[in-house]
Amino acid sequence: MQKTLYLFASGRLRRKDNTICVESEEGTKYFPVTSLRDIVVFGEVDLNKKLLEFMQENEVVLHFFGHYGNYVGSFYPREHYNSGYVILRQAEHYLDPGRRLNLARKFVEGALANILQVLRYYQNRGKDLAPYIEPIACLAGDRLSLCGNIEELMAIEGNARAYYYDSFNIILEGAPFVIKGRSKRPPADPLNALISFGNSLIYTKVLTEIYKTHLDPRIGYLHATNFRRFTLNLDVAEIFKPIFADRVLFTLVGKKMIGSGDFKRHGAAVLLKESGRRLYVKELEDKLQTTFYHRRLKRNVSYQTLIRLELYKLEKHLIGEETYEPFVSRW
Amino acid sequence: MYVILVYDVNVARVGKVLKIARKYLNWVQNSVLEGELTEATFRALKADMERIIDPEEDSLLFYVLGNQKYAKRELMGIKKGGEEWIF
């Protein structure tokens, strides 16, 4: 199983002896390229083109995060799986309003179904979540199937998420943090900081997996394709955010692994400190490497692989082999 | 599969062996590396090694474990290297 390297150290990231080497104050460390999938850089590293060339050869994606934990961008190496056919099918599905809406709806459907699954889990553990589950289930049902355009879809998703984020206070009863609605740019409280950080990691995770398929990350369906950035990963990430990012958040906060000492205030923003980010990343990686029995494939797969499988399903849908149905967690 | 590599080679080639090994495995301590490999990368590692070692003088040992779960590692003294993906 290929690994993700999370780089918090500052120093020099370089190609040395045909592998990856980090030279920092804490010493020099080598990382085997053959078992590397991507690198997520948080530290202030220096790197050169030689490294980028090497990354391209080895098909390793680099993701950069800024000083405040904001997503800066990715080094998306030259595509190695080229398929004009798939790109055309992707564009075709984008341009046809009916087909685009259909796909966008599937993403929202998947996202809401997984949100409900997470809420039901906590309901079974004695939390009073019925006042949240009902409206979300209502939105996920008729409202979703009736809506006729992308804007309506986005609105439904937004409403559902508003209920969902409110429910965090019930799920995390007794935790030192409370959430007063979702706030981004900047996140106003620790829980919002965790949500934002988690979501941006999931986006990069999905992007890395897209790199390993024929899909073009620039053509998204729910999130409008525009001139500047990747959007397909945002679409697919919608499905996985509740089951990966939010569950990691509940573990960290619920088990009191993360405390107010792991956050810092910066003006109106609440940001994760390095210690907090390390905790999060560790927990997320553990989650992604957990395997479970996949009913259809009849074998164990990890959550990381699950992301790729989702993309394959999407590819199949685009080339007209099989209708896409989003992954819905059963547990 | 989980592979532990232990090597004892002529000084003329220790550097070369180490450099190749680091492409595939994590350095643990002098002459010992370990890591998770696939069948294919393991074969690539062996092919790379075959090209540089002298079969008359050098010795490489690969301990191949199907799964790391069945192995237990105990450490005494200082930790020199190891598998870390958060750095």
Tens-place pLDDT, residues A33-68 = 988 899 999 989 999 999 999 999 999 999 999 888
Distance, CA of A242 to CA of A75 (rounded, Å): 26
The two tokens of residue A225 are 């394709």
Q: Decide if pLDDT at A320 tops 90.
A: no
- Give the model's pLDDT for residue A66: 87
> Contact at 8 Å (CB) between A72 and A66?
yes
What's the rounded mean pLDDT across residues A218-241?
A: 81
- Give the model's pLDDT for residue A225: 61
Interface membership of B17 toward A (CB under 8 Å): no
What are the residue ranges of helices labelled H in A172-289?
190-211, 232-240, 247-254, 274-289
**Residue of chain A whose Cα is closest to the Cα of B41:** A34
Write down the pTM of the prediction: 0.89
The residues that bridge with B63 in the sheet, in sequence order, are B4
How many residues comprise chain B? 87
- Give the model's pLDDT for residue A228: 60
pLDDT 10s digits, A182-228: 777 788 888 888 898 999 999 999 999 999 999 888 888 887 766 56
- Chain B residues with CB inside 8 Å of A11's CB? none
Cα A306 → chain centroid: 12
**Residue of chain B whose Cα is closest to the Cα of A34:** B24
ipTM of this predicted complex? 0.87
Task: Name residues whose C-beta falls within 8 Å of residue A280's C-beta, 6 or more positions apart in sequence.
Answer: A194, A197, A198, A201, A248, A252, A258, A272
Interface membership of B27 toward A (CB under 8 Å): yes
Distance, CA of A198 to CA of A191 (rounded, Å): 10
B23–A18 CB contact, under 8 Å? yes
Question: Between A8, A34, A281, which is nearest B41 by CB?
Answer: A34
The 8-class DSSP code of residue A225 comes to P
Q: What distance in Å separates residue A19's CA from the closest CA in chain B?
A: 5
pLDDT 10s digits, A267-318: 878 888 888 888 899 999 989 988 888 888 889 999 999 999 999 999 999 8
| A26 annotated as a binding-site residue | no
User: Which one of A8, A21, A31, A201 would you mutate to disrupt binding with B, by most B Cβ within 10 Å of its Cβ?
Assistant: A31
A285–B85 CB contact, under 8 Å? yes
Nearest residue to B32 (alpha-carbon basis) of B74, B82, B87, B85: B82
Distance, CA of A193 to CA of A264 (rounded, Å): 10
Strand ranges of the sheet holding A45-46, from the earlier edge strand across to the other edge: A27-31, A19-24, A11-16, A45-46
- Give the model's pLDDT for residue A272: 84
The secondary element (H helix, E strand) that includes residue A152 is helix A150-171
The two tokens of residue B46 are 């062996």
SS3 A280: helix
**Residue of chain B whose Cα is closest to the Cα of A284:** B86
- Chain B residues with CB inside 8 Å of A33's CB? 23
φ and ψ at residue B65, rounded to 5 degrees: -110, 135
- Give the model's pLDDT for residue A187: 81
φ and ψ at residue A45, rounded to 5 degrees: -110, 150
Chain A positions with Cβ closer than 8 Å to B: 1, 3-9, 17-19, 22, 29-35, 278, 281-282, 285
pLDDT band at B70 (very low <50, low <70, confident <90, very high): confident
Angle between helices A274-289 and A303-318 (to 10 degrees): 70
B86–A29 CB contact, under 8 Å? no
